[in-house]
Structure 1
Amino acid sequence: MRVEAIVEVRMTEDRGKVLKALENVFTPMRIEERQSDMGTILVATCEGHKCLEKLRSAIWRQGIQDAARSVISRGIVGEDTVVFSVNKQAAYVGVVSFVTEAGESPLGPITFTVKTNDVRQFIDWLAPRTYRGRVYYEAPPPD
């Protein structure tokens, strides 16, 4: 599994705070900076499921597995790719809030692109189905 997280650091934002927001939900192996008209874009990448453990833990801690599953499932863009976004400001305080529409995150979202051999197993691992508030089936970590 390969994960890429992209987040924009606008000129009015503190780079350190944006980096903290990213690192509250993601553990990157490498971060690249690219310049854009609006500021800087941070592109963080990693291999394997361990880099998404913080995101998974936050989803479980907040008890939003079903909502997360619904949003992430709508982000399937191919046999091996899922794209979803979380609110940068919420991530800064360690909370996961999914962004489903443009403009929903005024300072821009953190956008994740996950490439995996088994999209369904990835979703079952990150945000499993629940029944009456309890996890129905917990999948093993994806490739």
Structure 2
Amino acid sequence: MTTKKENNYNNKDLEIIVQAYVNPSEEIEKVNFAIKNVFPDSTLILKDNKLYTSTEKLEVLKKVKDQIRSKSTLSVLKKILFSNQTMNTTWFLLNKQAAFSKVVALIEDEDESPLGPIKITIRNQNTEEIINWFEN
């Protein structure tokens, strides 16, 4: 169920982009499956060996939020989001192979995921509010 607080973010001021490169050694269907495990309602587009989707709905991040329950993982996510913040944009990375197994695994560097990460970019006038949304 969507809360009133989540609905406040569903507007033109918010854009969430989810993207992952499909390596020559990977099957498109498997990368699609991995992304859909974490972002189930997304409609993915393939362009230039990259699967991506874009939305104005914060609910797309709900599965990430639900799986990041421990204080230590939440602290890592917030640290990553704040350190990657520039103006009205921030981003974080997920391990693509873990996502294939329906596991949300944060990574701090693209090299931590041998097949490349899933990158989630968040654009909003108040990114700090979005970052704090993960705690509520």
TM range, normalised to the smaller chain? 0.7 to 0.9
Structure-1 separation of matches of 2:40 and 2:24 = 24
Give the secondary-structure state (helix, strand or coil) at the position aligned to 1:71.
helix
Q: Residue 22 of structure 2 aligns with which residue? A: 9
Higher strand proportion (structure 1 or 2):
1
Task: Assess if the C-alpha contact under 8 Å between 1:28 and 1:45 holds in 2.
Answer: no
After superposition, give the CA deviation of every residue in 1:53-82 in whole Å (9 maximum; x if it has no partner): 11111212797212221122211121x111
Counterpart check, 1:110 vs 2:123:
no
Give the secondary-structure state (helix, strand or coil) at the position aligned to 1:103.
helix
Task: Assess if the C-alpha contact under 8 Å between 1:72 and 1:123 holds in 2.
Answer: yes
Higher helix proportion (structure 1 or 2):
2
TM-score (structure 2 length as normaliser): 0.80
C-alpha RMSD over aligned residues: 1.9
Give the secondary-structure state (helix, strand or coil) at the position aligned to 1:10.
coil
What is the CA distance between 1:29 and its match in structure 2? 4.5
Q: Residue 94 of structure 1 aligns with which residue? A: 102
What is the CA distance between 1:16 and its match in structure 2? 1.7
Higher mean displacement: 92-101 or 57-66: 57-66
Q: Residue 130 of structure 2 aligns with which residue? A: 122
After superposition, give the CA deviation of every residue in 1:103-123 in whole Å (9 maximum; x if it has no partner): 111100001111112111111
- Unaligned runs of 5+ residues in structure 2 are 1-13
- Unaligned runs of 5+ residues in structure 1 are 129-137, 139-143
Q: Could you tell me which amino acid in structure 1 is paired with residue 102 of structure 2?
A: G
Structure-2 separation of matches of 1:61 and 1:17 = 28
Structure-2 separation of matches of 1:62 and 1:54 = 16
Give the secondary-structure state (helix, strand or coil) at the position aligned to 2:34.
helix
Identity of aligned residues (%): 26
